[in-house]
Amino acid sequence: MQSFELIRPESVKDAIGAQSERSAFIGGGTTLVDLMKLGVMQPDHVVDTNRLGLDEIEALDDGRLKIGARVSNSRLAIDARVERDYPVLSQALLSGASTGLRNMATTAGNVMQRTRCPYFRDPAKPCNKREPGTGCSAMDGINRNHAVLGTSEHCIATHPSDMCVAMAAIGATVVVEGRKGTREIPFEDFHLLPGDHPEREHDLRSDELITHVVLDAPLEGAVSTYLKLRDRASYEFALASCAAIVTLEGTKVTAARIALGGVATKPWRAVDAEAALVGEEATAKMFEQVALLAFQRAMPLEHNAFKVELGQQAIARALRDAVQQASQGEHQ
């Protein structure tokens, strides 16, 4: 880890003022300190957000939930309103990392979490995300953990977050503040596909700071599940995960939100699958059918082809488990 200057502003305005091309914000540190140790990120200035407040969870009048940037993953997971209205988010958070890391990690930090691609994390290896134009080592290397959806010829790195998968399903707005004022970015637009510029990971300008994430109002009567599939039972990133939220009328699906993790370059909404499911009978067979749609455009590589089937299984089972709750009267 290279030396840097730590700036500890007391207000959001000062924090934004302290930000520059060669600086980085720090929240819990679980991403930044790690990547600084590896030499992947080498900011000259680190702007500490820990004196900025931004640690409230607030119910808005329109039914939405406003989460401060610095609310820890642990606290968010056990917030009574989250547990009641967004259990899928609570489950996703608790499936991520470990108790210790969740106690440190913040909401904004999790949104800004960077890929776990080992080639990205080693400055000695070519990586278009870390050093544009150097090539992608994973494409012809080991790509078991890599994405099959949303990839480009320049990058196949997955977005590692569980929290963001749940937020993508729920629907949310990322509130950012910069020198030119406040902006609200729809969650699905916040993370960018790698395309020709895998180094651009999000729609956040260099002077902007995430201050809040606002969750859409919960769907009335919805049932939901977060299902995470991985090698070991805990403390591992997803190979495939699915956040499923559905509403039902009798045995028919009236609304569906399906988001995927571990298989895509950003938190991934399976919109085709969602559209195909609405209006249909909630049966296991139907879930398997729509799951296929989610991976129609998958681009598997040498080691990650299994993620297509695993991802489909995640969708079908998450939908089934969610719907079972409805039949058991556990409206959530």
Partner 1 sequence: MSETLNTQKPRIDGALKLSGGADYTADINLDGQLYGYPVGSAIASGELEGLELEEALGMPGVVDIFHHDNFDRTLKHSPNSFAEKNTVSEPRLPFEDTTIHYHGQYIALVVADTFEHARAAAQKVKGKYRANDQVISQFDELDADNVAGLPGVLQEGDGQSRGEADTAFDAAEVTLDHHYSIATETHAAMELHASTATWSGDHLTVYESTQGVVFQRHALSHVFSMPPEQINVISHFIGSGFGGKLFMWPHAIMTAVASRRLKRPVKTVVPRQSVFTSAGSRPRSIQRVRLGARADGTLTSIRHDGSNETAFVGMHNDTVISATPSMYACENVSVTNRVGEVNHGMPCPMRAPGEAPGLFALETAMDELAWQLEMDPVELRKKNFAERDPASDLPWSSNHLIECWDNAAKRFGWENRTAEIGAMREGDEIIGYGMASQSWEAMRLQCSARVTFLSDGRLQVSCGTQDIGTGTYTIVAQTASELSGVPIEDIDVRLGDSSLPSGPLSGGSFATATVLPAVKAALDAATQALIDKVTQDGQAFSDVDSGSIELSDRALTYGDRSIPVTTLLEELGIGQVTAEASAEPGDEQSEYSFRSFGAVFVEVRWDPGISRLKVERIVSTIDIGRAINPMTARNQVEGGLVMGLGMALFEQTEYDKSGYLYNANLADYIVPVHADIPPIDVELLDYPDYHLNAFGARGVGEIGLTGIAAAISNAVYHATGKRIRDLPISIERLLMAN
Partner 2 sequence: MTEYFDPKTQGGATSKSRRNFLKTVGASGVAAASTPLWAQATQARAAETPEGDPAKASAPAPGMSRIQLNVNGVERTVDVAPQMVLLDVVRNELGLTGTKKGCDQGQCGACTVLVNGQAINSCLSLAISRQTDEITTIEGLERGGELHPVQQAFWEHDAFQCGYCTSGQIMSAVAVLNDDRIGQSDAAVREAMSGNICRCGAYKNILAAVQDARKAMKGGG
Distances (CA, A) of 266 to 7, 158, 212, 280, 327: 30, 7, 19, 28, 32
> 181 is written with which tokens?
């004022």
- With binding defined as CB under 8 A, does residue 5 bind partner 1? no
Among candidate residues 217, 289, 295, the one with its CA nearest the CA of residue 253: 289
User: Which of these ranges, 53-61, 190-198, 246-254, 310-318, lies near partner 1 under the rule CB under 8 A?
Assistant: 310-318
Class of residue 38 by CB neighbours under 10 A (exposed 0-12, middle 13-18, buried 19+): middle
Helix 87-95 / helix 163-170 crossing angle, nearest 10 deg = 160
Q: Which lies closer to partner 1 via its Cβ, residue 57 or residue 229?
A: 229
User: Which of these ranges, 4-12, 123-131, 194-202, 291-299, lies near partner 2 under the rule CB under 8 A?
Assistant: 4-12
| Partner whose footprint covers residue 29, from partner 1, partner 2, none (CB < 5 to 8 Å by kind) | partner 2
Which distant-in-sequence residues (6+ apart) come within 8 Å of 223 by Cβ?
A: 245, 246, 247, 248, 322, 323, 325, 326, 330, 331, 332
Helix (H) or strand (E) holding 177: strand 172-178
CA dihedral 277, 278, 280, 285 (to 10 degrees): 20
Contacts 24+ apart (CB under 8 A), 309-312: 310/229, 310/239, 310/240, 310/263, 311/148, 311/240, 311/242, 311/260, 311/262, 311/263, 312/288
- With binding defined as CB under 8 A, does residue 100 bind partner 1? no
Give the one residue of 30, 145, 161, 332 binding partner 1; rule: CB under 8 A.
Answer: 145
Q: Determine the Cα–Cα distance for residues 329 and 29; give it in Å rounded to an integer.
A: 41
Print the binding letters for residues 104-143 with partner 2: x by CB under 8 A, - otherwise. x---------------------------------------
3-state helix, strand, coil in the chain (%, to 5): 30, 25, 45
Give the one residue of 130, 191, 212, 317 binding partner 1; rule: CB under 8 A.
Answer: 317
Give the one residue of 11, 99, 296, 324 binding partner 2; rule: CB under 8 A.
Answer: 99
Q: Which lies closer to partner 1 via its Cβ, residue 54 or residue 270?
A: 270
Within 198-237, the residues that bind partner 1 by CB under 8 A are 227, 229, 231-237
Give the one residue of 123, 132, 135, 195 binding partner 1; rule: CB under 8 A.
Answer: 123
CB of 23 to partner 1, least distance (A): 18
Give the one residue of 233, 250, 328, 329 binding partner 2; rule: CB under 8 A.
Answer: 233
CB of 139 to partner 2, least distance (A): 25
Give the one residue of 80, 124, 250, 329 binding partner 1; rule: CB under 8 A.
Answer: 124
- With binding defined as CB under 8 A, does residue 197 bind partner 1? no
User: Among the residues of 7-97, which ranges form H helices?
Assistant: 12-18, 32-38, 73-78, 80-85, 87-95
Question: Is residue 145 a contact partner of residue 154, using CB atoms and an 8 Å limit?
Answer: no
Q: Which lies closer to partner 2 via its Cβ, residue 98 or residue 182?
A: 98
User: Which of these ranges, 192-200, 229-237, 251-259, 277-285, lies near partner 2 under the rule CB under 8 A?
Assistant: 229-237
> Interface with partner 1 by CB under 8 A: which residues?
1-3, 37, 39, 116, 118-119, 123-125, 137, 140-142, 144-145, 227, 229, 231-237, 239, 303, 305-306, 309-310, 313-314, 316-317
Which residues lie near partner 2 (CB under 8 A)? Answer: 1-6, 8, 26, 28-30, 33-34, 36-38, 46, 48, 50, 74, 78, 97-101, 103-104, 233-235
